[in-house]
Chain A
Amino acid sequence: MARKILLEHAHIAGIETFDTYRKNGGYEALEKAIKTMTPEAVVEEAKKSGVRGRGGAGFPMGMKWGFLAKPEGVPRYLVCNADESEPGTFKDHYLMKTIPHLLIEGMIISSFALGANKSFIYVRGELMYVIQILEKAIAEAKAKGFLGKNILGSGYDLELVVHPGGGAYICGEETALLESLEGKRGNPRNKPPFPAVKGLYQSPTVVNNVESIANMVWIINNGGEAYASIGIGRSTGTKLISASGHIRKPGVYEIELGLSVDEFMNSDEYCGGIREGHHLKALVAGGSSVPIIPARLVYKTANGEDRLMSYESLSDGGFATGTMLGSGGFIVFDETACIVRNTWNFSRFYHHESCGQCSPCREGTGWMEKVLHRLEHGHGHMRDIDLLVDVAKKIEGNTICPLGDAAAWPVASAIRHFRDEFEWHVTHPAEATKPGAVYMGEAVLI
């Protein structure tokens, strides 16, 4: 069995309650941090651990904490981004509902490290029952003296607020989240200034993902160096992967970074292989916003090396032959999946979720969706394929926030790797529109 850091105690009945969590070593990290360490020492452990942000971008968390401005007399905030809503990603949701005190403990430790006396957990509004679980956990921690005024007699105060979001994907983008938290329309802000300088209420703010913050508990208990020894290269520690699609055992798995994609996909401990009688066709490794890769690039990189579940290996070769680990939304497609329909589906999502603030994203996402709709429904032209590539290129990198990239990458990569399937939809419109009809070209099957 692989080592588990976050889900080690997840199987224990009643772990969502304070008492059971405490009996199983809960809040020991907090006691250690608050009684024996300085905030700077906690930040140092985070830096030593090499843990990277688990929300998708993979930015080193300790370095992000190091950027936090510390002006005199200005409050600092820690905001936990629990607005997980990328299609195919559901790991934070699972973590929060299964073992909520892990997040609460991580929040208290991280807030202590950053000098924040008020922290927020911004949860997607649809997950009301998760919000209730978190609020119950906060009340328990407060009643036991682990949260609130003078935590464990240390003199450190922390108020923790669970804030439901309105249910917009864009509010998962850190600056849009802060706007939403301030009670405004969830539009991303132009950067700079970055939240570390001017964030929530114009004060220095750190925004971290649920999984990133939860990792701090193990890091404090065992030390940053111990965490850094897990994983491979600059991809340290473990990662929660939400696996879905045409596999035998969909679910949330905790893996050590560096595990081979082959083992993750096919071993019984994890996904259990492609569903019986079918072949792998494509993989989206890190949530719907990352580039899709064809079967031939799933287990091996373009250089013929084993593809690993790590930030570096998955992105090997850039977008030409690689993808991204992203948020860990592992979506598997077998040969029954229509790539054009799937791309249209993703595109429909990003069109619907674009905030509409900047022109390339507002207009471009809708344009791509409409062209893909035409292609999928047998009304496309050959020129539409190049048009899609061009529009995606014009959006990518030119928008205020990364939603433009998230909309462009799936389209551009699908055409890059499955162009013949798009062409088939143009040349065989009647067949393509039949229910369940998919392109069975040899080039895309392994």
Chain B
Amino acid sequence: MEDIKPQLFKITFDGIEVEVEPGTTIMQAARRIAEADASQGHLVPPAMCYYKPLEGSGGKCRACLVRVAQGSAKDTRPMPKLVPSCITQVQDGMVVENVTNPAVLEERKAIVEFLLLNHPLDCPICDQAGECHLQDFAYEHGSSNQRYEEERRTFEKHDIGPYIQLHMTRCILCYRCVYTADQITEKRVHGVLGRGDAAEISTYIEKAIDNDFSGNVIDVCPVGALTDKTYRFKNRVWFSKPVDAHRDCDKCSGHVTLWYRGEEVIRVTARKNEWGEVQEFICNTCRFEKKKTSDWVIEGPTKVVRSSVVSANKYRADTVKKPDFALRLANSQYKPIDDSRPFITDDETIRQLSIENNKKANERSLAENSNN
């Protein structure tokens, strides 16, 4: 009997063709391209609120807005507005412009500005520095200018228990922690209060967050609003050494990352994938109470794939990318996509073509430099 394969949708993302299953979002399609070729990782739209393991997340921060230049093969009209790539599903023949569209880059710059309006620029004293998604987002897509002259919003500090420090002033209202508590803990005692820029994450009458999986809200927070009280002010993240480890745990999978300073385990977190998303949520016992090497079976150094200062100067020197001026130049000279080209579907060919293209670009760049 002949195998029945699901019909795949062909889409063009920034000029790169890819085939994906129906129901895939634009963001997931972009991630597929990056997974096939790591050098294209910068093409993946940034996500501040979207978090794949959390159902219903996404669509709020608007950091991942992209332009759909062609809705589908049947309806070739462009979509009138920019769309959030994290929740917009692909259609067959869809053409998406991400870094190849100046309007998208301009809006992304605006989103950085909006998010930083009320976010304190206290990176030097913030425990999230070095693994802050907003910091990365601002560096990659933002502007060095600041146009906001008004007083920033601040909040009273709330005590929400012994393990988690809530610093609401840094919150960007991504709702990830609310979804986490909703979906993986038995009783949610915190949520969003208030409205607009006065909205805040808070607990009901300063109640403590005390369930077994509450610590996961720390891992999903993209900024330094929810931090680990047992780790705060102990170390900068780039001075610590992450190591994969596991233990038998009756509450969770027990698969974690241990963060060492010298011989001492100073922090335990869930393991994250290359998109900074938790692979398996862990319990509070593993996170807060097991901080001796003898509690764990060590697997080896954590492979940090994502561009991060954690991996810089430690494992791979090339993981921190320089601003891609060539890409900006390409944006200004962008031409409409020639849709007559055949679709390339297999990952290996995409990877090979991408390597060749990058090689050619590098050679061109070197030649230009030597001429200058």
A-side residues, CB < 8 A to B, are: 168, 170, 185, 190, 351-360, 362-367, 370-371, 387, 394, 397-400
Q: Which of A168, A355, A398 has the most CB atoms of chain B within a 10 A radius of its CB?
A: A398
Some 21 contacts from A to B, beta carbons below 8 A apart, are A170-B195, A185-B192, A190-B58, A190-B84, A351-B196, A352-B195, A353-B195, A353-B196, A355-B199, A356-B195, A356-B196, A357-B173, A359-B60, A362-B199, A363-B115, A364-B114, A366-B153, A370-B150, A394-B110, A394-B113, A400-B59
Q: Is the CB of B147 within 8 A of A363?
A: no
B interface residue numbers (CB < 8 A to A): 48, 58-63, 65, 80-82, 84, 87, 107, 110-111, 113-115, 117-118, 147-148, 150, 153, 172-173, 175, 191-192, 194-199
List, in ascending order, chain A residues with CB within 8 A of B195's CB: 168, 170, 352-356
Given A358-B62, A367-B150: 16 more A-B contacts, CB < 8 Å: A190-B59, A352-B195, A352-B196, A354-B196, A355-B195, A356-B192, A356-B194, A358-B61, A359-B48, A359-B61, A359-B63, A359-B172, A362-B173, A365-B197, A398-B65, A398-B81
CB distance from A179 to the nearest CB of B (A): 12
* A366 contact from B62, B110, B147, B196, Cβ within 8 A: B196
In the complex, number of A-B residue pairs with CB atoms less than 8 Å apart: 89
Chain A residues, Cβ within 8 Å of B198: 356
Contact A398 B107 (CB under 8 A): yes
| C-alpha spacing A425/B12, complex, angstroms | 50
B82-A398 in contact (CB<8A): yes
Contacts of A365 in B (CB 8 A): 196-197
Task: State A122–B199 Cα separation when bound (angstroms).
Answer: 24
Interface of A: prevailing SS = helix
Asked if A397 contacts B82 (CB within 8 A), the reply is yes
List residues of chain B with CB within 8 A of the CB of A364: 114
Decide: B173 and A367 in contact? CB cutoff 8 A: no
From A364, A367, A370, A399, residue with most partner B Cβ within 10 Å: A367
Cβ-defined contact, A190 with B118, below 8 A: no
Given known A366-B197, A398-B82, contact A360–B59 (CB-CB < 8 A)? no
Whether B60 and A400, one on each chain, are in contact in the complex, defined by CB atoms closer than 8 angstroms, is yes
Question: What is the minimal beta-carbon distance from A304 to any residue of chain B, in angstroms?
Answer: 30
Q: Which residues of B contact A397 (CB under 8 A)?
A: 80-82
* Nearest residue, chain A, Cβ from B172: A359
Closest CB-CB distance, B136 to chain A, in whole Å? 16
Whether B148 contacts A357 by the Cβ 8 Å rule is no
Q: Taking CB as reference atom, which chain A residue is nearest B115?
A: A359
Q: Which residue of A lies closest to B178 (CB)?
A: A185
Tell me if A362 and B110 are in contact (CB < 8 A): no
> How far is A356 from B48 in the complex, measured between Cα atoms in Å?
15
What distance in Å separates the Cβ of B9 from its nearest Cβ neighbour in chain A?
16
B84 contacts across to A, CB distance below 8 A: 190
Task: List, in ascending order, chain B residues with CB within 8 A of A355's CB.
Answer: 195-196, 199
Give the distance in Å from the alpha carbon of A284 to the alpha carbon of B80 in the complex.
26
Q: Report chain A residues within 8 Å CB of B150.
A: 367, 370-371
